[in-house]
Structure 1
Amino acid sequence: MTDFQATKALFALPEGVTYLDGNSLGPLPKAAPDRTARAMTGEWGEMLITGWNRAGWMDQPAKLGDRIGRLIGAPEGTTVLGDTLSIKVHQALAAALALRPERRVILSDSGNFPSDLYMAQGLIEQLGRGHELRVVAPEEVEAAIDDDVAVMMITEVDYRTGRRHDMPALIAKAHEVGALAIWDLAHSAGAVDVDVAAADTDFAVGCTYKFLNGGPGAPAFIHVAPRLIDEVQPALSGWLGHAEPFAFEPGYRPGPAIARMRVGTPPVLAMAALDAALDIWDRVDIGDLRAASLALSDRFIAGVKAACPGLELATPRAHAQRGSQVSFRHPQGYAVMQALIAQGVIGDFRAPDILRFGITPLYLDEADIDRAVEVLATILRKGSWDRPEFHARAAVT
């Protein structure tokens, strides 16, 4: 059994703060500052450019990719780290469309994160071959999978409501009609039980700064199914995805297997922090994590329902349809969230009216959940959210 009190002790959580925003940015692992400092002074400072070889910087994208791969059910050597999630979405989508040249439809849903949709829109314009981005309601995705679809691009857990798609079923349906599937795990990796191999997914992408706790701007990852990787031709053919980067050839030759999905120079200092964060996962059983997440979520939902009648639950109650966040609707959701944050209960807001709360058992327990309910209920009962400073919109919500 995973000892979640022990994992909580591995995070630097500010005194008096109940942190329910790990679905947006995970907190600082206590080991990360020393690990990053070692990379800065002991490696960069002492080794200078020789650190690429002596400290193994060049190999880190593959090594960290495999560590993440173990959390998402990916076989060794099929996941690599680097760049941003938007870049990885672009890579996966361009590669998938090239594998289905006779089809023109990209299927997604209205609960997908806008950046994924933006990547699709931009790629369609660049290709200029008449592709269509077809966006349907989340509950209509399965019915919309037909013979016209080239690629289904879905974020498993809706970033606003926390609704979880049945991705294995959707992937199976996509394969039945000859379509490929891209599975965005931004709100899944480190949050729910994921098995990309069992689901027979084609491409999976995700970020590492949310539930994986890699730090602000931590690099993203991409997984490609072993049966496809030798066919994939990267549209973003960066020099580190070349078969021999240091041959400096004028023409591109894709690297072997997943290495071809590398693009630019890896962020060494960010990888050091992520490496420290992933050490915590060596202590965690994903099944235990999922069970604890659902129990804490149920407790939070029940507490809010009893104490905060003015809030509307936006997250499905059924466990199979829920990720690791709980969302509520309130017409003044932004101001309510700012009042909560001022009281040391940190969640976040998503337009137009969603209060989001990440449920992360690595560092949250029942006492944290109960405190969050109590503070939220007091704010709503007293109307203390209705102050000018809580209505003033900041750049990040």
Structure 2
Amino acid sequence: MAVQIIADKKLDTVYKKATDILSKGFNAGDGYPQVWIRDFNTFIETSYKVYRRDSIRANLLTFLKLQQANGEIVDGYVLKGHVTWNDPNIYVSSNENSHVGFKNTVETDQETSLIQAMAKYIRITGDKSILQEKIAGKTALQHLEVSISYLLKNRYSKKYHLLTGATTQDWGDVQVEGGAVVDVDENTHWAMDIYDNAMFVIALDDMAGFYKTGPERQKWQQLKAITITAIRKFLWDAKNHKFIPHLYIAKSPFPISFDENKIYFHGGTAIAIEAGILSKHEIRLVNQDMLRNVKLSGAPSIGLTLYPVYPEGIYKNSTASKPFVYQNGGDWTWFGARMIQQLISHGFIKEAYAELHPMVARTIKDNGFYEWYGVDGKPNGSAAFKGSAGALAKAIDQLKEWAKNN
């Protein structure tokens, strides 16, 4: 297996294509002039191969400079004067004069994505001094602490000990109720899901890692343990070895006749594995489930977001209503490759290599890192989506490293 991986020139071809795309800036891709933290968090490691450390450092600190007075972190930012979308809620800060921010408030992964990206930056560069960088009288580390305080105050259920957010499809940032679509409004049905909370667990582990010893480290470790316990208790369906789609604060936006719990969220499950929430036996079971779903759906790869899909007409939001479109059953390399990363990390090398092939093959065939694919195998969205490039490149890196050592 190791010899086969080392000799696989397709992996080299795709890796070269990925670094070429990532050398062209930190924005999410063509069609996306903005720098998004949820994307940057997934390609920061490969960007370091083609960018100077100072450039990456500056981009991370820009997110902290745009942190709002209540502690929240923006989704992303763009240069002033380059706003290309009709968002009525532009975020500004007296600490940052060159950029403005934006945020899809239905999601609860911005703060956790930034913490994870900071931790990755420190691991790959060794530059721990970034945590002591002063912004508006506080260190970067203090700003990160404030961001978690924001979550605990505004996006946390004390009853369930879990983060809350709007009702979206798996890791998606489009609410199903229509209305403001990507922003919380009077239509929002508040819920808890595995993606937001798995991201929180990873971020808490990173926060603990910023401290060698002491009460702060213990505080984050304790909150991490509490969150994992709550996830296992309220979100994990042990009998069916899957996570329930949503645990609602009040009521579901769907009719009683619709059994949402039949739906399997692939992306959030991959992040749960990264967070250390599932055992190796459970990882084997969920990977088998995902492969079965891919076969049943006809999807091209393990990047299938969810299955079965939400049926047409169940949404008020037409953007998210079509089966197998976008986040409702689209096939995203951005998350599929993250599942591959976790298979490698947990010793499922044979499975990882086999499941990586469709994503590698289509990248070469279509000569691009497309945002998502339909079940018919046709590419959609940005053709140079850096989240896809970064996630796939990291998986290839991991495979090559395993092969070299074995």
Question: TM-score, with normalisation over the residues of structure 1?
Answer: 0.25
Which of structures 1 and 2 has the larger relative contact order (alpha carbons within 8 angstroms, sep 6+)? 1
Q: Which one has a bigger Cα radius of gyration? A: 1
* Higher share of residues assigned helix: 2
